[in-house]
Amino acid sequence: MHPTMARREMSVRGIRARFPSGVYRGHIGAGQYDLLPSPLRLHAALVSAAGDGTTALVEAGALCRTSDATRALEWLEDNPPEFVELPDVVENGLGVDKAFAYRDEGVVENVKKSPIRRKTPRTVVDSTALRGALGWGWTSMPDDVALELDSLCADVPCLGEGDSPVVLEVGEIAPTHRRNHAAGPFDPVALKLSVPRGGRLQELDDLYRRANPVKAPTQSADRWTGSELPTPPAISHHRAVELGYEPIIASPPVSSAPWSEMIFFPLTTEIPPEECLGWSVAMHRALVAALGDDATPVVTGRYQAGAVQPANRVAVQVLSREVMDQTNHPQLGAGIAILIPGAEALDGVLPAVTALRRLYRGGAGAVSLGQPVHLSTMDFWKPVEPGHVRTWAALPAVVPETRRQKSRDWSLADSALLSVGFVFRDQLSIAPAHRGADRYAAIVDAVAARSVKPLNTSLIAGVDVGKYVHKAPRGVVVQPYRLSITSGDLIPPQSLVAIGQSRHLGGGLLVPLDLPAAIASAWGVKE
């Protein structure tokens, strides 16, 4: 199985081969199975189409190609494909059990004793299944060459065997591989393809004339003999060469912020770290009360049974003055923020904003809220200084969202990756078939594949866990821990993000912890 390569957002002009049956079938030399059609085979098919297709001319009672066709075919010799579009393919020619068809070769064996027509077995299942079109592309192709090649493509009925019908056309392809110009003939490459080189058209013409001489053979030279065997025309490949192609690696996917908007309320009194959870709960309750019956599930966190829940809902985070000094809004000072996952949710929160002036919390008094400010979370933190690498520290702690998994050697590092994956799950490709422990493992692996790496995890022992989480799932032991972690290409470097069981209510806030590049490198963190 050849996996589909990650594709760039690009397209180039080329020739696309679409197999209506979804199968390509071809052989090389003495019956050797051919996995995929090469540019060399494509060139030969176009040469054949130019000689006896609809564009051919009649001269001296015989068909011949036009000068435009000759120019287009010679252009292919001088310009090997720069790109290849390779779909998912499944090889069906390597199995032990094969199906055969017996072909009458038109000759007779054992003439003197017991004449019998010669029939030879030929495999009929050695083929390649393709999920999509195959393509060969060029950085640039002259318009007149493209027009002539498109005409020739229309006259190609099959590529490979006669039972391998094809539709060829000139158009846009989405490359998966690009030619490796630095690779030598003995260097390992992901894909090797035979391509024509200068003089291949002349070579094919010579082979055709040799197989179809103008002068008929003499009667004696053409007489039947008992030892006669089929004599297929000789094929040479002197004017061909193998070139290497490598996968086109896609640019790392760009992650979006889990919360795109925020309403920030300045505070005149700074809230201590151990009180962040309590005041976050108080703000959430005040918000729900102010909205009343208009409070949506993305605000309340209460969804109907069976409803599809988004990765994140409205969250509340307390931001100290020290934390705000690392943002692009240090002038706002300490405050409390309502994080909103999108514009639609923002519309559902704004009606209550003007009603929030004071927060009350039983046993802890009240705090006054300043004039609310609408901010974007996308560029919340200051950019990374030159010569530094952005990592993150979680404040005041992270709380695991699941119990320890028995399906693997589960650690706090796995728990941290899982928490990141829960926040960004809408941006990860997790197969629907994954359930339970398999799903957790798939999320951890998907986050790790995006180069997110926990640098330090340490349990916080002997504390009141009620200061770190408001509610926890049944059966989950609340174990708050300290965490520092890298961004990879998943956590946006300037977006406000929180992770863990208490991310919606005052916990797991990721605050920049920028390291000098030399120190980061020693930790195995890449820029």
Supply the pLDDT for residue 520: 84
Secondary structure letter of residue 467 according to DSSP: G
What pLDDT score was predicted for residue 10? Answer: 62
Are 217 and 161 within 8 A, CB to CB?
Answer: no
Residues 209 and 310 in one domain: no
Q: For residue 50, which of 78, 76, 77, 70 has the smallest C-alpha distance?
A: 70
Alpha helices in 354-469 (DSSP H): 412-423, 436-449
So what's the pLDDT on residue 456? 93
Residue 467 carries which side chain, given as an amino acid letter? K
Residue 114 falls within a domain, yes or no? no
Tell me, yes or no, whether 58 and 202 share the same domain.
yes
Query: Are 240 and 182 within one domain?
Result: yes
Asked whether residue 112 is assigned to any structural domain, the reply reads no
Question: Does residue 185 belong to any structural domain of this protein?
Answer: yes
Same domain for 176 and 86: yes
Reported as half-sphere exposure (CB side, CA atoms, 13 A), residue 100 has a value of: 9
Instruction: Mark whether 265 and 243 lie in a shared domain.
Output: no
What is the structure's pLDDT at 96? 43
CA distance 418 to 422: 6
Instruction: Report residue 219 as tokens.
Output: 């009667």
Which H helix or E strand runs over 143? Answer: helix 143-153
CB-facing half-sphere around the CA of 85: CA atoms within 13 A? 25
Angle in degrees, 0-180, between the axes of helices 39-52 and 143-153, rounded to the nearest 10? 80
Task: State how many domains the chain has.
Answer: 2
The answer on 181 and 32 residing in a single domain is yes
Instruction: Examine residue 409 and state whether it is found in any structural domain, yes or no.
Output: yes
CB 45 within 8 A of CB 159: yes
| DSSP state for residue 3 in the 8-state scheme | P
Alpha helices in 194-255 (DSSP H): 200-211
Closest CA to 490 of 436, 429, 420: 420
Of 378, 417, 387, 391, nearest to 512 by C-alpha is: 391
Residue 148 lies in a domain: yes
Which one-letter DSSP state was computed for residue 223? -
Cα–Cα dist 129/193, whole Å: 18
Contacts of residue 96, defined as CB under 8 A and 6 or more positions apart, other chains included, come to none
* pTM exceeds 0.95, yes or no: no
Cβ atoms within 10 Å, residue 426: 11
Phi-psi sector, 300: left (phi>0), alpha (psi -120 to 50), beta:
alpha
Q: Are residues 195 and 331 both part of a single domain?
A: no
Per the CB < 8 A criterion, the answer to whether 120 and 103 are in contact is yes
Could you tell me if residue 253 is inside a domain? no
Question: Containing domain of residue 81, as a range?
Answer: 12-95+127-223+234-247
- Tell me, yes or no, whether 301 and 238 share the same domain: no
284 lies in a domain? yes
Residues 79, 34 within the same domain: yes
pLDDT of residue 61: 82
Phi-psi region of 190 (alpha: psi -120 to 50; beta: other; left: phi over 0): alpha
189 and 265 within one domain:
no
pLDDT, averaged in runs of 10, over the chain (527 residues)? 40 92 83 85 96 91 92 96 90 56 74 75 74 93 95 95 93 92 83 94 91 82 71 80 86 76 93 91 94 91 82 95 96 96 88 91 89 94 94 94 79 94 88 71 90 93 78 75 94 95 94 91 74
Is there a single domain that holds both residue 455 and residue 498? yes
Q: What is the pLDDT of residue 7?
A: 39
Reference 86, options 131, 45, 125, 44; nearest CA is 131
Do 290 and 168 lie in a common domain? Answer: no
Evaluate whether residue 252 is within a structural domain: no
CA distances in angstroms from 180 to 177, 252, 369, 377, 497, listed in the order given:
9, 21, 62, 42, 41
Contact (CB, 8 A) for 284 and 366: no
